[in-house]
Structure 1
Amino acid sequence: MKGLTALLRQPRSLFTHMVALLIGAMLVAKLGSWTASLDDKAATVRRTHVEEMLPRIANTSRIMGILPRELRQKTLSGIRARETRYSVDDKPLLSPDLVLTDPQAIAARDRLMDLLDLPRSAVLFKMWNKAENAEPSWFHNPWAAIEPVEMGMKFSVRLPDGQWLNAVNRRTIQPTVWSSTSTWTMLTSILMVALASFYISRRLSRPLRDLADRADRLGRGEAVPTLEAERGPEEVRRAAHAFNAMGARIRRFVDDRTRILAAISHDLRTPITNLRLRVELLDEGETKTRMLETLDELRATVEATLSFTRDELGEEAVRADLSTLVESVCDDFADTGHPVSFSAADRLPLICRTGSMRRAIRNLIENALAYGGTARVSIRTDGTEAVILVADDGPGIPENDLERVFEPFVRLESSRNRRTGGVGLGLSIARSVVHGHGGDIRLHNRPGGGLDAVITLPILSGPHHEGLIYRKAA
Structure 2
Amino acid sequence: MLKRVPERLGRIWPQSLLGRLMLVMAAGLLVTQLAASVIWASQLRAKAQVEAQSASQYMAHGASGAIRFFRSLPPNYRLLLIQQLREMGGTRFFVNLNHAYVPVQQIAPHPLASSVLATVGATLKSDLPHSPSFHLAFAWPEQLVVSEDGVHLSDLPDAWVQHILLLQPDPAPILVIQTEIEPGNWLYMAALMPNPYFLSSNDPLAWDRLSLQGLSLAVVLLLCLLVVRWITRPLAALSDAAAAFGQGQDDRAPPLPETGSREFINTARAFSAMRERIQRYIEDRERLFISISHDLRTPITRLKLRSELLDDEALRNEFEEDLDELDMMVKGALQCVKDSDIHENPAEVKLDALLGRLVRSARLAGHEVGYRDSSITVRAKPLALKRAIGNLLDNALYYGDRAEISVSSGPDVVAIAVRDHGPGVPDDAFASLFDPYVRLAHGREQNDAGMGLGLGIARSVIEAHGGQLVLENHPEGGLNATIRLPA
Among 430, 433, 444, which residue is 1:416 paired with? 444
C-alpha distance in structure 1 between counterparts of 2:137 and 2:366, whole Å: 105
C-alpha distance in structure 2 between counterparts of 1:296 and 1:168, whole Å: 118
Could you tell me which residue of structure 2 aligns to residue 347 of structure 1?
376
Post-superposition shift, 1:182?
4.0
Counterpart secondary structure, 1:417: helix
Among 185, 194, 199, which residue is 1:174 paired with? 199
Post-superposition shift, 1:361?
1.8
Post-superposition shift, 1:257?
1.9
Post-superposition shift, 1:198?
3.5
C-alpha distance in structure 2 between counterparts of 1:27 and 1:84, whole Å: 50
Among 26, 30, 44, which residue is 1:27 paired with? 30
CA deviation profile, 1:65-90 (whole Å, cap 9, x unmatched): 7996545995699589989999xxxx
C-alpha distance in structure 1 between counterparts of 2:223 and 2:428, whole Å: 54
Could you tell me which residue of structure 2 aligns to residue 404 of structure 1?
432
Post-superposition shift, 1:175?
1.8
Could you tell me which residue of structure 2 aligns to residue 197 of structure 1?
224
Could you tell me which residue of structure 2 aligns to residue 237 of structure 1?
265
CA deviation profile, 1:110-142 (whole Å, cap 9, x unmatched): xxxxxxxxxxxxxxxxxxxxxxxxxxxxxxxxx
Contact 1:446 1:452 in 2 (8 A): yes
Post-superposition shift, 1:14?
4.2
Among 13, 18, 21, which residue is 1:18 paired with? 21
| 1:67-466 alignment, distance < 5 Å | 70=74, 74=78, 150-151=115-116, 152-153=119-120, 154=123, 173-175=198-200, 177=203, 178-208=205-235, 211=238, 225=253, 228-230=256-258, 232-279=260-307, 285=313, 287-289=315-317, 291-311=319-339, 315-321=343-349, 323=351, 324-352=353-381, 354-413=382-441, 415-417=443-445, 420-459=448-487
CA deviation profile, 1:20-65 (whole Å, cap 9, x unmatched): 3432444356453686488669968986997899699779959977
Unpaired runs of 5+ residues, structure 1, are 1-6, 87-144, 460-474
Counterpart secondary structure, 1:340: strand
Deviates more, 1:419-428 or 1:43-52: 43-52
Post-superposition shift, 1:418?
8.2
Deviates more, 1:312-321 or 1:398-407: 312-321
Contact 1:262 1:309 in 2 (8 A): no
Which residue type is aligned with residue 387 of structure 1? A
CA deviation profile, 1:152-180 (whole Å, cap 9, x unmatched): 44479999xxx99x999875643254454
> For the structure 1 residues 40 and 331, does the alpha-carbon distance in structure 2 shift closer, same or farther, using more than 3 Å as the test?
same
Contact 1:259 1:309 in 2 (8 A): no
Contact 2:286 2:337 in 1 (8 A): yes
> For the structure 1 residues 440 and 313, does the alpha-carbon distance in structure 2 shift closer, same or farther, using more than 3 Å as the test?
closer
C-alpha distance in structure 1 between counterparts of 2:287 and 2:80, whole Å: 113
Post-superposition shift, 1:335?
4.4
Could you tell me which residue of structure 1 aligns to residue 146 of structure 2?
none
Unpaired runs of 5+ residues, structure 2, are 1-9, 86-90, 98-109, 139-172, 174-197
Post-superposition shift, 1:315?
0.8
C-alpha distance in structure 1 between counterparts of 2:124 and 2:374, whole Å: 91
C-alpha distance in structure 1 between counterparts of 2:56 and 2:473, whole Å: 92
Contact 1:150 1:170 in 2 (8 A): no
Counterpart secondary structure, 1:389: strand
Contact 1:374 1:393 in 2 (8 A): yes
Counterpart secondary structure, 1:387: strand
C-alpha distance in structure 1 between counterparts of 2:274 and 2:463, whole Å: 19
C-alpha distance in structure 2 between counterparts of 1:51 and 1:434, whole Å: 82
Query: What RMSD, in angstroms, separates the aligned Cα atoms of the two structures?
Result: 5.0
Contact 1:411 1:424 in 2 (8 A): yes
CA deviation profile, 1:218-264 (whole Å, cap 9, x unmatched): 7x786665773545533343334333333332333233223211221
Counterpart secondary structure, 2:419: strand
Which residue type is aligned with residue 309 of structure 1? V
C-alpha distance in structure 2 between counterparts of 1:319 and 1:146, whole Å: 75
Post-superposition shift, 1:400?
1.8
Which residue type is aligned with residue 458 of structure 2? A
CA deviation profile, 1:385-437 (whole Å, cap 9, x unmatched): 22222222223333222232321122334541386311222222222222322
C-alpha distance in structure 1 between counterparts of 2:402 and 2:298, whole Å: 37
C-alpha distance in structure 2 between counterparts of 1:282 and 1:53, whole Å: 128
Contact 2:401 2:421 in 1 (8 A): yes
> For the structure 1 residues 13 and 282, does the alpha-carbon distance in structure 2 shift closer, same or farther, using more than 3 Å as the test?
same
Which residue type is aligned with residue 230 of structure 2? R
Counterpart secondary structure, 1:315: coil
Which residue type is aligned with residue 380 of structure 2? I
Contact 2:297 2:327 in 1 (8 A): yes
CA deviation profile, 1:277-299 (whole Å, cap 9, x unmatched): 44456679555555445444444
Counterpart secondary structure, 2:392: helix
C-alpha distance in structure 2 between counterparts of 1:310 and 1:235, whole Å: 38
Could you tell me which residue of structure 2 aligns to residue 112 of structure 1?
none
**TM-score in terms of structure 1 length:** 0.63
> For the structure 1 residues 287 and 394, does the alpha-carbon distance in structure 2 shift closer, same or farther, using more than 3 Å as the test?
farther
> For the structure 1 residues 21 and 385, does the alpha-carbon distance in structure 2 shift closer, same or farther, using more than 3 Å as the test?
closer
Identity of aligned residues (%): 29
Which residue type is aligned with residue 423 of structure 1? M
CA deviation profile, 1:344-398 (whole Å, cap 9, x unmatched): 533232233x333222222222222223233322222244222222222223333
Which residue type is aligned with residue 23 of structure 2? A
CA deviation profile, 1:287-330 (whole Å, cap 9, x unmatched): 55554454444444433443443455561331232614333333
Count of residues in correspondence between the two structures: 392
**TM-score in terms of structure 2 length:** 0.62
Contact 1:341 1:377 in 2 (8 A): yes
